[in-house]
Structure 1
């Protein structure tokens, strides 16, 4: 039997778009629109090294239920990458500070309220934006502090090997992290790799970086309601890792949600299953919550 939400589904249109980050860098995205007037906007803020196409199914699902949805690639990733990644200079923080800020500004032109759906880094990025007050609420999945100590032993050892044995020679040879060669995502700019590796060595992630002391106050200024989801089989962002990061959104109305794959008819979720085919029952909860907030 179709749900009440699914019974309202309508045809959609998707259109490639480009828009500026707040520092002027041109970003590539896709807008998914319903046939009728959209009830609100949704921006999907991607995980590290995950191209926007990965979120297409969720975007289409939300658009069919009346939302105008934007997916986009951060600078250096996918369609927003330069022709040659070697030598491309940027900060890992640019994705939130400039790129997501630019996406928010772009979608605000449509006039409706805007929601954010973040995946992993995408949930971290809200606190880096200059216009987080324009986001009605954020639903994020798999957002954690990145420290291997929060992971189960097997995953901890795997991550240790990747960071310390596999990745360094690959980066030394290529001048960037050729992640695509390992089927782990899009290739990463070298600066992203270096910062990510350094921050993941600390239980409090980049909040422990003495060069980024301002971030604690910056994140504490966010008052956007946040729904932070952790799948209990997501070894990269288990509840303890999630709390280690999300606690820095000190003034936000925080809702911690733990989920198990079998409750959604899935064999597993892990770190990527939140947006894979079959996760529609989970997406229904997201859209249902946004619908409730629109009429609250």
Structure 2
């Protein structure tokens, strides 16, 4: 499974080992990830990325969590970063494949170790849990900036900006290249054309893909998730404010849900926005998630010990 190994300097007493791993998605697509492992991990975390965000963006969080005893797996979805083909032109896939096939298989990779599995989801990553076939293996998910994507939930300035991008900027770029060259706008990794088309379509609806007649089964599928969810919204995250979060999270209707609203100054930050949850200086945000996971793990261990 391991292709290469290098050592990352640790702020804790033990050094953290990170290994590049190759694994196969449920439908046979080859994926690439990084496993951050402390000497004696007590639990595992899978990081489910935002749309168009390569796994390297989550390195600081992964190292930090590993220094606190968690084994952490980051990975690139198909068509992104190290899991991308040589050219996205002509590359076909469904936006839902990232959850159904890729995240499901990442969870399987961690399940082989027999450790409890927790999940960190960023934006799309928080949507993806409901798409997996093995969500029951996830003890809890903490998700950041996960919402319905509809411009109507955004402040006026951001609403206008998003509509201009979707309707004026993106269409000619996609027509010219055959994919969305997002990297040229410094907005993230380039996106496969099918991801772009589905994302644009679903963001036109207040309830995102749950409003799509072709995706009726998703309401039933999301209702099957029973893992506890901590849904975080930074109050300066214009893309996923609380109203947008609620519009999506209502479909995880059988999952124990805790909503957490964040003010940047409460975490020693000047701003959080949509991406600041994982940038340098967000350690207090990470501490909150890791504390929640550790508490759940301790309670479950005590429960098993007394049984």
Instruction: Please tell me whether the aligned partners of residues 46 and 117 of structure 2 are also in contact (alpha carbons under 8 angstroms).
Output: yes
Counterpart residue number, 1:122? 125
CA distance in 1, matches of 2:290, 2:13: 12
CA distance in 2, matches of 1:243, 1:129: 21
Q: What's the TM-score once normalised by structure 1's chain length? A: 0.97
CA distance in 1, matches of 2:69, 2:15: 10
Counterpart residue number, 2:30? 26
Q: In structure 2, the residue corresponding to 1:87 is in which secondary structure?
A: coil
Q: In structure 2, the residue corresponding to 1:44 is in which secondary structure?
A: strand
Q: Is 2:233 aligned against 1:230?
A: yes
Q: In structure 2, the residue corresponding to 1:292 is in which secondary structure?
A: helix
Counterpart residue number, 2:200? 197
Q: Is 2:49 aligned against 1:46?
A: yes
Q: Is 2:147 aligned against 1:148?
A: no
- TM superposition outliers: structure 1 runs of 4+ over 2 Å: 6-10
The 3 A distance-change label for structure 1 pair 135 and 154 is: same
Q: What's the TM-score once normalised by structure 2's chain length? A: 0.93
Q: Which whole-Å deviations, capped at 9, do the CAs of 1:92-145 have from their partners, x for residues lacking one?
A: 000000000000011101110100000000000000000000000000000000
The 3 A distance-change label for structure 1 pair 70 and 7 is: closer
Q: How many residues align?
A: 290
Q: In structure 2, the residue corresponding to 1:43 is in which secondary structure?
A: strand
Note the C-alpha offset of 1:10: 3.0
Instruction: Please tell me whether the aligned partners of residues 230 and 238 of structure 1 are also in contact (alpha carbons under 8 angstroms).
Output: yes
Q: Which whole-Å deviations, capped at 9, do the CAs of 1:224-255 have from their partners, x for residues lacking one?
A: 00000000000000000000000100000000
Note the C-alpha offset of 1:8: 5.9
Instruction: Please tell me whether the aligned partners of residues 114 and 135 of structure 1 are also in contact (alpha carbons under 8 angstroms).
Output: yes
Q: Is 2:287 aligned against 1:284?
A: yes
Instruction: Please tell me whether the aligned partners of residues 9 and 65 of structure 1 are also in contact (alpha carbons under 8 angstroms).
Output: no
Note the C-alpha offset of 1:11: 1.6
CA distance in 2, matches of 1:9, 1:137: 28
Instruction: Please tell me whether the aligned partners of residues 11 and 67 of structure 2 are also in contact (alpha carbons under 8 angstroms).
Output: no
